[in-house]
Structure 1
């Protein structure tokens, strides 16, 4: 039997060194009189591919730094299991993601506040976005400079990307120079979380500057198995490290930052969640909160792929040994070239129905093609537009399968479960085709490869979505403000326990989730510190 070692007591324990956890570790340890411990299940971010922007292709299936989850067989997706990458490393998913900096729509946050999440309206969260940001374009009403997180423009632009922008504007989509500014609608180049040609993850931006502080303790390969609760209060955590079972105690708070999969998993392992389910998997219920693990939302991406008329795509570079060598040399010598860019280079936000007050569809335009995000690039020259419905109505769940933290929870995404979700994806694919038929993009296309010109009916496009749709890596909502947390992110019924990551979102934001996760970490740090002072 593994012996248990009690290590020490600190003021704050943060579980999960991801996008939010690294922010909290930085902000809470700014006071030298406050002791902070950050526990991460994965290793340090020493894999060199983490820090090269194009390196996501090498990390997306690496089990050493990626949980490599799969959903349960999805009835709405032809019974397929959907691969769900999640970062298991310092920086979390910000160390393996596509680097796009996108905040979502202001109405997302105003909707949270209107539904009872007081203090989370757009006017409340904008200062935290600005505080975290070091915007290469300078400060204005929407952006900040001097923050830890670098937000940069693309270092170079492909002519096919510009052709997509020009074709979209010809189809009636307005140009947009800043999706995080005055308006979200339109088409334009995205910004990235990079600095001088390298990935600027939360570990790089927030954690690395804080590591020199004596009051911050960081343990990697530390798998937390449960939160210790005594008399209705979280007093520490039990975790596995190096073959030993260890206990770390907290004087003030335990803060979970594991994300939309691991935070509800850890709450349930600790006896906090749907009591009947917990009892069925031999976990003693401590606090019956049926909503823990419920309300799962994710962005589904459905690809439309074109064969290119000119060898200008990443597919062409990777297939050509000379061009591939030159790409690597450019990066090594000057931190420039295709290795400095993200998966997505151009974004587009559009409305599929005239009565909508904000976009409901987002496109990620990418200069490569593959059958899925985790597959090898196609052998032909190709490029892709990912269609994503921004505010899915479908809801899934995350539920533990056993009392063992090493066993993956059961993830049910339940994509395309409503007619609104199916309709939006179909209309989004049709709009992508409309843009592809416009000049100058049409001159760069030989033919549509996926779903193919023969897929013209609604049924055929819906079948393509079921057969080829994948996660866009944006799970949220499983520890939502309201049914699980109060607006200060405190778990109902348990003192000294908070959650701070994308699982707290009542509804998924209309865009990529890394920037909101950083904002949540920033705001959570203020909530914690204000309560401590009070």
Structure 2
């Protein structure tokens, strides 16, 4: 894939060493396959030559590229995107659907870790985030879901007027292009609603041609429990089991990342995308407007290690994600004085909500060895012949490498808990069990947990997902994740060094309700694996294994193994300032005139969904608000 320079003003991918030269001359004659080819070009002084951009977008990730591209449709405005990583669209680990997850721990992963988790046996848990154009849309598992309408109503009720389901559905549709299913290798029927989905947006969604037989068996096993079919994950009614769309372009069988926005609007002479540049702080004007501070631009560091300032005449937009958006705010003096003052950072805006209210989807995984002859993605590692065959099939758009996630089930409490267990859950929702929650947050979360919204996502993965050796076998992993955790974590800096990662503390299992629900979900997965449609493919349970039987055993197992779906939200929440909010319902950071946050860190209450759909919708709505 190429993004050429031209006199006509094609989209520009530039590195810090060349950005000032571009800004001075407004044209280049090179044709590039990768911005890395420009590292040797000498630059001029950006601070002397660069005119002010109207908008600076910090982070070329899932939301960042989307909002930047939409803002650049106004050709009278200039837009700069600054991304710490590089262009990875030609990385096979990125574009091959079946290799999703293979780049975790690679150079395109920030490779964060949590602090030791007190309620999870003191374990440190890996916390990957995508580093490169596309952000975490480079390394996620491509699942496209939106959550349910009641969750957006709860968001709006907490102070997010204009962010209810009916307000957002137009933006979900605007961002996407759903390709109707054309059949699959198991001849399974796939439900979808064309009226709920976009038809011409930049992010392709499709139903891949390959479906593992054991995944179809999982789907049939869930249906045998009288779980209803969720007709479409795009219509705000997601309770039930369904085959979900993946962000895959079916014409070429490649993952579609947010770089699709740049391809969709390829000729935008007013849009500059700067790669390999790490933003270290927001810069502030000495003047205030009605008591609010004004951002004058940002400082970034390129490959040569030297700081460069660039000016924003209108707005600085933070799209660095739930981990790095609060980090950058704090490094810039916006946050809780209790965090900033001990580090010697002058408090520019006293905003204690920065980095607070972190929520995630804690997850536990049962793992089953499959019977001999049943293929999974594990065989790509185990069997050279299988790998060669799979690569040949992928070359013609077929086989196991064309897909990763297919069926999921989002279930309400009554669909997987007994009456007694529902009562136990209700009892665990008390304020005494969750004293860190405000009354508003507790009421909103409890309402979702008991009101018929999905509280657990069940999803099978066609591979071994866990610690330990595959031992040359193939596996299916049955994951369960709490969708409305009552635990609340934090992400805060511990150093003034912008290259040091922040302290990520999700506080997994802080609430006893989370631990109870995950233990019950593990038991539900074991029961599901014993049902004939799925059991016919299973040899034996590997995790947690037969020694785990009692509720106490299951809860101990959860503490020993809990992980995450990597769905952090809330660290720059859209809440009233008095409720530890960080942004208002126009995404403007309190106490500032021209700093917005456009990423999922603004979501104040979790959704029963994977995150990329809402990231795109936030970006689309942000662009409309700004324009």
Candidates 56, 60, 64, aligned match of 2:104: 60
Q: Distance in 1 between matches of 2:256 and 2:471?
A: 29
Q: Please tell me whether the aligned partners of residues 244 and 407 of structure 2 are also in contact (alpha carbons under 8 angstroms).
A: yes
Candidates 208, 212, 233, aligned match of 1:179: 233
Q: Please tell me whether the aligned partners of residues 572 and 601 of structure 2 are also in contact (alpha carbons under 8 angstroms).
A: yes
- Cα gap change, 1:104/1:376 in structure 2, threshold over 3 Å: closer, same or farther? farther
- The Cα shift of 1:182 comes to 5.7
- The Cα shift of 1:264 comes to 0.4
- Establish whether residue 293 from structure 1 lines up as the match of residue 386 from structure 2: no
- Cα gap change, 1:188/1:285 in structure 2, threshold over 3 Å: closer, same or farther? same
In structure 2, the partner of 1:170 is 224
Larger radius of gyration: 2
Which SS does the other structure have where 1:440 is aligned? helix
In structure 2, the partner of 1:226 is 281
Q: Please tell me whether the aligned partners of residues 371 and 378 of structure 1 are also in contact (alpha carbons under 8 angstroms).
A: no
- The Cα shift of 1:169 comes to 1.3
- The Cα shift of 1:367 comes to 1.1
Candidates 375, 388, 399, aligned match of 1:312: 375
Q: Please tell me whether the aligned partners of residues 165 and 236 of structure 2 are also in contact (alpha carbons under 8 angstroms).
A: no
Candidates 521, 524, 527, aligned match of 2:622: 524
1:401-420 matches, within 5 Å, as: 401-420=494-513
In structure 1, the partner of 2:30 is none
Q: Distance in 2 between matches of 1:391 and 1:379?
A: 37
Which SS does the other structure have where 2:532 is aligned? coil
- The Cα shift of 1:447 comes to 1.6
CA RMSD of aligned residues (A): 1.7
Q: Please tell me whether the aligned partners of residues 148 and 236 of structure 2 are also in contact (alpha carbons under 8 angstroms).
A: no
- The Cα shift of 1:320 comes to 1.5
- For normalisation by structure 2, the TM-score amounts to 0.81
**Which digits, 9 at most, give the CA deviation of each residue in 1:143-193, with x for residues without a partner?**
120111111012211111111111111122123342223631222222100
- Establish whether residue 210 from structure 1 lines up as the match of residue 265 from structure 2: yes
Which SS does the other structure have where 1:414 is aligned? coil
- Establish whether residue 324 from structure 1 lines up as the match of residue 380 from structure 2: no
Gaps of 5+ in 2: 1-43, 181-191, 288-292, 415-421, 423-449, 576-580
Which SS does the other structure have where 2:385 is aligned? helix
Which SS does the other structure have where 2:170 is aligned? helix
**Which digits, 9 at most, give the CA deviation of each residue in 1:384-430, with x for residues without a partner?**
11100001010110111111110100110101111211121112112
> Greater relative contact order (Cα 8 A, min sep 6): structure 1 or 2?
1
Q: Distance in 1 between matches of 2:100 and 2:197?
A: 27
**Which digits, 9 at most, give the CA deviation of each residue in 1:451-504, with x for residues without a partner?**
112211122112222222212111110000011110000000011100010100
Q: Distance in 1 between matches of 2:284 and 2:128?
A: 31
Aligned residues: 521
Candidates 196, 200, 209, aligned match of 2:256: 200
- Cα gap change, 1:85/1:338 in structure 2, threshold over 3 Å: closer, same or farther? same
Q: Please tell me whether the aligned partners of residues 4 and 247 of structure 1 are also in contact (alpha carbons under 8 angstroms).
A: no
In structure 1, the partner of 2:159 is 116
Q: Distance in 1 between matches of 2:99 and 2:370?
A: 24
In structure 2, the partner of 1:152 is 206
Q: Please tell me whether the aligned partners of residues 211 and 403 of structure 2 are also in contact (alpha carbons under 8 angstroms).
A: no
In structure 1, the partner of 2:445 is none
Q: Please tell me whether the aligned partners of residues 413 and 452 of structure 2 are also in contact (alpha carbons under 8 angstroms).
A: no
1:492-511 matches, within 5 Å, as: 492-511=590-609
In structure 2, the partner of 1:487 is 585
Q: Distance in 1 between matches of 2:353 and 2:470?
A: 40
Which range moves more in the overlay, 209-218 or 254-263? 209-218
- For normalisation by structure 1, the TM-score amounts to 0.94
Q: Distance in 1 between matches of 2:330 and 2:98?
A: 36
In structure 2, the partner of 1:468 is 561
Q: Please tell me whether the aligned partners of residues 485 and 514 of structure 2 are also in contact (alpha carbons under 8 angstroms).
A: yes
In structure 1, the partner of 2:11 is none
- The Cα shift of 1:48 comes to 3.0
1:25-174 matches, within 5 Å, as: 25-45=68-88, 46-62=90-106, 64-137=107-180, 140-174=194-228
Q: Distance in 1 between matches of 2:282 and 2:479?
A: 39
Candidates 222, 225, 241, aligned match of 2:302: 241
- The Cα shift of 1:86 comes to 0.2
In structure 2, the partner of 1:283 is 345
Q: Which 4+ runs in 1 deviate beyond 4 A? A: 375-378
In structure 2, the partner of 1:363 is 458
Q: Distance in 1 between matches of 2:99 and 2:177?
A: 23
- The Cα shift of 1:272 comes to 0.1
